[in-house]
Amino acid sequence: MPGKPKLGQNFLNDTQAIQRIAESLGDLRGRTVVEIGPGAGAITSALVARAAHVIAVELDAVLAAELRAQYLPGRLTVHQQDVLTFNFAAASASAQQPLLVFGNLPYYITSPILLKLAASATSIERAALMVQREVADRVTAQPGSRDYGSLSVTCQMYGPIQTLFTLPPSSFSPPPDVHSSVIRWRFAPRFAELAIDEPAFLPFARTVFAQKRKTLSNNLRAAGFAPDAIASAFTSAAIDSRARAEELSLESLAVLWRVLQQADHRK
């Protein structure tokens, strides 16, 4: 089937990979699962066979109608909708359980989808998502790695993420230009445990990684923090004055944010 490149339509044609994705979140009996971008239904049929209810969210009207016609209502509900406007909280409330989310994502909106899932973290238990391999490397990156940045910190603040396996372009039709990896994300937000304010910390994480070649101190100065506040925060948080943001764990970034907040409040 010819895909619409603008909608990221690269259909999975690797039956082994489809089984591995459907099995990647464990036993689906009794569960409500949401599939993002079901397309022609390659993963959907494996999910319908395993789960109590599948909610498929597909933007393409033709694909959504074809999928709806293939299954008895009850096992599969198709929403012809942009997933970025999908209400995960309402779906979870109506299912009376946290959701499991699957998706071979449309790559042109991968980051907005990851951020949307993060914002819906209290309604989602786990997700298994096919993303471009480079994105998988970024979201799973640990401190000290070249790939560690604001997307890693933001996603990992919502719970642990790991790469399960990687597929070559030939596993898709038409083949994309990139390799793809399946990541598994367990939603367990860390804001309360690290005593940080979610809406304030996320822009802070973007600020500290704004210019990766600059030191952390220079990025904070560029964001408007006073040099003496930065110096005393580094001392309290035991951070070296020449440190770069990519060396700092989530825990150290949280300590730094808390100390800078306290200094701000004392002004």
- φ/ψ of 123, rounded to 5, equals -105, -5
Q: How far apart are CA 256 and CA 112, in angstroms?
A: 27
Binding mask 61-100 for ligand SAM (x = CB under 6 A): --x------------------xxx----------------
- φ/ψ of 5, rounded to 5, equals -60, -35
Q: Which of 48, 59, 230, 254 binds ligand SAM (CB under 6 A)?
A: 59
Q: How far apart are CA 74 and CA 80, in angstroms?
A: 16
CA distances from 229 to 46, 51, 263, 267 (A): 55, 53, 7, 10
| Closest separation in Å from C-beta 72 to ligand SAM | 20
Nearer to ligand SAM, 64 or 229 (CB): 64
Nearer to ligand SAM, 131 or 245 (CB): 131
Q: What tokens appear for 121 in the block?
A: 């973290």
| Closest separation in Å from C-beta 87 to ligand SAM | 13
Q: Which of 32, 37, 67, 233 binds ligand SAM (CB under 6 A)?
A: 37
Whether residue 263 contacts residue 236, with contact meaning beta carbons closer than 8 Å, is answered with no
- φ/ψ of 266, rounded to 5, equals -80, -15
Nearer to ligand SAM, 136 or 196 (CB): 136
Q: Which residue has the tokens 């070296």?
A: 240
| Closest separation in Å from C-beta 80 to ligand SAM | 9
Nearer to ligand SAM, 92 or 171 (CB): 171
- φ/ψ of 69, rounded to 5, equals -75, -20
Interacting stretch for ligand SAM, rule CB under 6 A, among 24-32, 55-63, 141-149, 194-202?
55-63
| Closest separation in Å from C-beta 36 to ligand SAM | 6
Q: Which of 42, 55, 182, 220 binds ligand SAM (CB under 6 A)?
A: 42
Interaction between residue 57 and ligand SAM (CB under 6 A): yes
Q: Which of 17, 43, 121, 260 binds ligand SAM (CB under 6 A)?
A: 43
| Closest separation in Å from C-beta 37 to ligand SAM | 2
Interacting stretch for ligand SAM, rule CB under 6 A, among 54-62, 93-101, 191-199, 254-262?
54-62
Interacting stretch for ligand SAM, rule CB under 6 A, among 65-73, 104-112, 119-127, 190-198?
104-112
What residues between 204 and 233 interact with ligand SAM by CB under 6 A? none
Interacting residues toward ligand SAM by CB under 6 A: 7-12, 37-39, 42-43, 57-60, 63, 82-84, 104, 106, 109
